[in-house]
Amino acid sequence: MKLNLSIFFVVGFCCALLQAQEGTISEIKLAGLKKTKSAAIEKLIALQAGMYLDSVLLGKDITRLKRLPSVSHAYYSVAPTVDKRYAVTYTIEENFTLIPFANLFSSANDDFAFRIGLQEFNFLGNNITLGGFYQLDVFNSYGLSIRAPYLFSNKLGLAFNYNDFTTQEPVFFSDDTADYRYSNTGFELLGLYEFCFKHRMELGFSLFTEDYQYLAGATRPNVPLNLNVDKHLFKLIYEYDDIDYFYHYLDGFRSNLNFQYVGSSDSALPEFLIGFNDFMYYKRVGASGNWANRLRLGLASNVNSPFAPFTVDNNLNIRGVGNTIDRGTGAIVFNTEYRHTLIDKNWFVLQGNFFVDGGSWRNPGGDFSDFLDDQNIRIYPGVGFRFMHKRIFNAIFRIDYGYGITKDGDRGIVFGIGQYF
């Protein structure tokens, strides 16, 4: 009797075990990898052999893979096996990731200026970004950077940047301007942490030296002609990302908070805080349209200084306005544009876009009513084109023409690499 009962329990346990295995994943395969190491992908995907088949988890894995610079597109397939389980295959279309780049623009005194560089977005096949640049903008500048978001685990990494940056910068007084030779030399070290699929953080510090040398223009008794000071900076970046990517189309919401504390070795220069948040919303419109929006809200310590941190600039916020035409200690900027795909071939995409850029600034030492001052409000509608290569990461050449419709509005063409936002 006891023997029969034991056999019954053993048989029952084996049947239950076999039944439990049905519907589980027997293996996960990776297809399409050429340069990227399979271990780098296996580190990131959440679905594992032995788990139950979960379409939600499959979708999250695909979205995460498509966010990698090394991945142009990704999708999955599921096939049943003879033992009533499933084999899952992730198919990855890789980007070409060794990318030279060049930006052409006008400098502060309307001379020809440019930046050239080279970036590898999949260094050693491990989704590490390694890059450097050289810039001529009246003066010479260069920089080096490395970013390894998954250096220690699938959540923890590091980033390091070194810059020796020198430009001719306009400094604004109440009714006049001056030109300074501005240099910023130093390094930055950041720890990168990904809490979960949609939330990540960067935390770190920077040590650098700022040097201002007067060149020409107006002067003020309380504004030094030459200034050299060592500074330190602590930075916190927090990002929420719920964007779905399909090649060059985006759909969803992203928020990026950047908060910094800047201290100085010179007691005559006060420490200050600066923070801004970019809210971005993208919406697919039919098969060929994409509506894109960005709202930036920023504030800094309201120091009455001509070296205020927020700038009004073609390449940052208002297309067509000019290069660094004003500064402030607060900013409200809204960019909206509709992108429509005109040509979509196997590797080439041509987009046209219509945009409206608008914003306002708080004057150094001013108050919040400055945001409503018509001297500070700028609205620039415009049109542009995007020329894209679908198999090369961030290979988007853009050209935009903006036309100012507010007081003393200017107009101009802006070139760049990558989408404006």
pLDDT digits (tens, 9 = 90+) for 30-39: 999 999 999 9
Question: Which of residues 230 and 308 earns the better pLDDT score?
Answer: 230
Q: Judge whether residue 16 has pLDDT over 50.
A: no
pLDDT for 76: 95
The pLDDT confidence band at residue 268, using thresholds 50, 70 and 90, is low
More confident residue, 103 or 282: 282
Residue 414: what residue type? V
Higher-confidence position of 322 and 420: 420
Mean pLDDT of 221-229: 84
Kindly report the three-state secondary structure assignment for every residue of 269-290. Answer: CCCEEEEEEEEEEEEEECCCEE
**Mean pLDDT throughout 81-105?**
87
Does the predicted model carry a pTM greater than 0.75? Answer: yes
Q: What is the pLDDT of residue 213?
A: 93
Summarize pLDDT for 59-85 with one digit per residue, the tens: 999 999 999 999 999 999 999 998 889
CA count, 13 A, side-chain hemisphere, 279: 6
Least reliable range by pLDDT among 9-13, 120-124, 333-337: 9-13
Residues in the chain: 421
Q: Name which of 6-10, 60-64, 218-222, 340-344 the model is least confident about.
A: 6-10
**Residue 383: pLDDT over 70:** yes
Task: Provide the mean pLDDT of the chain.
Answer: 89
* Whether residue 122 has pLDDT greater than 90: yes
Q: pLDDT at position 27, please?
A: 92
Give the pLDDT score at 23: 79
Enclosing H/E stretch for 186: strand 177-194
- For residue 307, what are the contacts with CB-CB under 8 A and spacing of at least 6? 171, 212, 327
Which domains are seen in the chain, by residue range? 2-94 (3.10.20.310), 98-417 (2.40.160.50)
What average pLDDT score do residues 164-190 get? Answer: 88
Residue 333: the pLDDT is 97
Cα gap 22→27, rounded to integer Å: 13
pLDDT of residue 389 exceeding 80, the answer is: yes
**What pLDDT does residue 12 have?**
46
How high is the pLDDT of residue 176? Answer: 78
pLDDT at 106: 56
Does residue 20 surpass a pLDDT of 60?
A: no
Q: What is the pLDDT of residue 110?
A: 55
Report CA torsion sign: 72, 73, 74, 77. negative
Q: What is the mean pLDDT of residues 169-177?
A: 76
CA distance 413 to 389: 22
Token couple for 402: 């903006």
**pLDDT at res. 172:** 76
Cα–Cα dist 420/355, whole Å: 11
Question: What is the reported pLDDT for 308?
Answer: 84
pLDDT for position 15: 45
Helix (H) or strand (E) holding 61: helix 55-66
Give 3-state DSSP helix, strand, coil % of the chain, rounded to 5. Answer: 10, 60, 30
Q: How confident is the model at residue 191 (pLDDT cuts 50, 70, 90)?
A: very high
Taking a C-beta distance cutoff of 8 angstroms, is the pair 198, 240 a contact? yes
Looking at per-residue pLDDT, the higher value among 143 and 103 belongs to 143
Report pLDDT digits (tens) over 231-262.
Answer: 999 999 999 999 998 888 999 999 999 999 99
Q: What percent of the chain has pLDDT over 70?
A: 92
pLDDT tens for each residue of 353-376: 999 999 999 999 899 999 999 889
pLDDT(350) > 90: yes
Which region among 146-155, 165-174, 235-244, 395-404 has the lowest average model confidence (pLDDT)? 165-174
